[in-house]
Structure 1
Amino acid sequence: MSSVLYDAQGPRAKRRNVLLTVVFTVVLLALLWWVYQVLDEKEQLDWAKWEMFFTGTEPWSTYIWPGLQNTLKAAALAMVIALPLGAVLGIARLSDHAWVRIPVGVVVEFFRAIPVLVLMIFGLALFSEYTDVSTQDRPLYAVVTGLVLYNASVLAEIVRAGILALPKGQSEAAMAVGLRKGQLMRLILLPQAVTTMLPAIVSQLVVILKDTALGGAVLTFPELLASANTMSGYYGANVIASFTVVAVIYIALNFALTTFAGWLEQRLRRAKKSSGAVLGANDAQVAGTAGTGAGGM
């Protein structure tokens, strides 16, 4: 049976695909078995290395929970600042005034081109040399600064692309009924673009959450991954168990974020579909007489 996208497979193609599937499965199982053997030889799968996470609270209260708090704090601050800043920059890039559009475009392209880790390092040096921020708080400030500068620039491009993706007829119709540019953007374009941009925005928020780990790796910021590194050393090179627990926490956080975004997107789409008011016959008659001035005193 043929399709628009591909032709139906013949007998030889089917046999070849089955053979490749079997070979891939065998290789994958062999690789997993080799990994298991290596970990077992290094005693990384012994219950003694995992027991503390299931029977005690010390790893959670001393290492994981404080690190998770710092990760969520840095990510939340960066999201709260980067989202509106990215929206403003994205809208400014669409300005009809060159003196607004060109400088904003230079700023966005500049910070998009610099790795976020470099921005964090520059931020740490900036707060160290030119501010009175305490040594204890400098890593947090530097991490948030780097995340905001980089991700606001990326979000600006997402916003700009989302607005440009809308049909031009909507802008022309809004201008025809007398809406100003600010009203057009606020009332017509942005509400529609948000639904389109939401998956890309959420992907960037997930990046923000994960990139907080860069601060722990370089700036001694005590976030979740850095805490796991300290924890694994304290419990006797318990690397696999410690980092597996941390990986599960990251997966849970990102899954919760994407699940919430999916729910929000569906809610916005339903709100759009149900936003039009349905008038009955009597309502339509009243509206018509009110518009013409007939039937009233």
Structure 2
Amino acid sequence: MSQVLTQSNLIFILKGLGLTLYISFFAIVLSTIFGTILAVMRNSHNRLLKILASIYIEFVRNVPNLLWIFIIFLVFQMKSVPAGITAFTVFTSAALAEIIRGGLNAVDHGQTEAGLAQGFTNYQIFIYIVFPQAFRKMLPAIISQFVTVIKDTSLLYSVIAIQELFGKSQILMGRYFEASQVFTLYGIVAGLYFVINFAISMFSRHLAKRWAQAAE
């Protein structure tokens, strides 16, 4: 066990963790932006926009993310990290679009009518009235999707050899053969995933609780 828990190994693993968070951060930010656009398009009264968004969402969601990683990397011949971010953005945008659309549809239509009565434009109603209310409703599902992105970055090493957290552990695994060493190494990696994702989930619950108390 002491052979595994060396300073150099821990630094090596933490560098992989840094890359995991880097890829996840940009994929999450971009997915949220594009997912919101897709949700608005699918709710649009413009038939063409609605059809285009529906085709994208349904097609992308029903093709495994693993395949999107292959397609982005091989077909578009991108470098590994940009390909990973792009693939996760493509896939997660479709999933978030449905979550966001559900949140938007959950806001009472009377809110829109009240905004129009006050002289607000449709854009102002969406930004200042509808979206803030919808965001509170869909936050738990969005956070759950974010956690999925962080966990699924572990696919990237086996597909396009990105040395993220799991990839770094696989590289180190080639140096150790005893069961205790293997369990220790995987235990460290599992612990890091757990701490990060549990912290995100707890923050989401705390925020939701505060909003619920404020609404009372």
Q: Which residue of 2 aligns with 1:11?
A: none
The counterpart of 2:42, out of the listed 93, 99, 118, is 93
Q: Within 2, Cα distance between the matches of 1:99 and 1:85?
A: 17
The counterpart of 1:187, out of the listed 128, 147, 153, is 128
Deviation string 1:78-102 (CA, Å, 9 cap, x unpaired) is 0111111111111121111112211
Q: In structure 1, what residue type is equivalent to 2:153? A: T
Residue 73 of structure 1 and its aligned partner are, at CA, apart by 1.0
* 1:260 and 2:210 are equivalent in the alignment: no
* 1:208 and 2:144 are equivalent in the alignment: no
Q: Within 2, Cα distance between the matches of 1:58 and 1:97?
A: 57
Q: Which residue of 2 aligns with 1:6?
A: none
* 1:220 and 2:161 are equivalent in the alignment: yes
Alignment root-mean-square deviation, CA: 1.7
Q: Within 2, Cα distance between the matches of 1:119 and 1:98?
A: 27
Q: In structure 1, what residue type is equivalent to 2:165? A: L
Q: Within 1, Cα distance between the matches of 2:69 and 2:82?
A: 9
* 1:173 and 2:114 are equivalent in the alignment: yes
Q: Which residue of 1 aligns with 2:29?
A: 80
Structure 1 unmatched runs, 5+:
1-49, 274-297
The 8 Å contact of residues 69 and 159 in structure 2, kept in 1 or not, is answered as no
> 1:1-297 to 2 correspondence within 5 Å?
50-54=1-5, 56-61=6-11, 63-128=12-77, 138-236=79-177, 238-270=181-213, 272=215
**Counterpart of 2:25 in 1: which secondary structure?**
helix
Q: Within 1, Cα distance between the matches of 2:159 and 2:96?
A: 25
Q: Within 1, Cα distance between the matches of 2:95 and 2:183?
A: 34
Q: In structure 2, what residue type is equivalent to 1:60? A: L
Q: 1:91 to 1:272 in 2, by over 3 A?
A: farther
Identity %: 31
The 8 Å contact of residues 123 and 141 in structure 1, kept in 2 or not, is answered as no
The 8 Å contact of residues 119 and 145 in structure 1, kept in 2 or not, is answered as no
Deviation string 1:69-125 (CA, Å, 9 cap, x unpaired) is 111111111011111111111112111111221111111112111111101101111
Q: In structure 1, what residue type is equivalent to 2:202? A: T
The 8 Å contact of residues 92 and 100 in structure 1, kept in 2 or not, is answered as yes
**Counterpart of 1:175 in 2: which secondary structure?**
helix
Q: Within 2, Cα distance between the matches of 1:52 and 1:260?
A: 35
Deviation string 1:186-241 (CA, Å, 9 cap, x unpaired) is 11110001111100000000011011111112211101111111112213353222
Q: In structure 1, what residue type is equivalent to 2:203? A: F
The 8 Å contact of residues 229 and 239 in structure 1, kept in 2 or not, is answered as no
- Which range moves more in the overlay, 160-169 or 232-241? 232-241
The 8 Å contact of residues 195 and 269 in structure 1, kept in 2 or not, is answered as no
TM-score scaled to structure 1, two decimals?
0.68
The structure with higher relative contact order (CA 8 Å, sep 6+) is 2
The 8 Å contact of residues 140 and 221 in structure 1, kept in 2 or not, is answered as yes
Residue 127 of structure 1 and its aligned partner are, at CA, apart by 3.5
Residue 263 of structure 1 and its aligned partner are, at CA, apart by 2.7
The higher radius of gyration belongs to 1
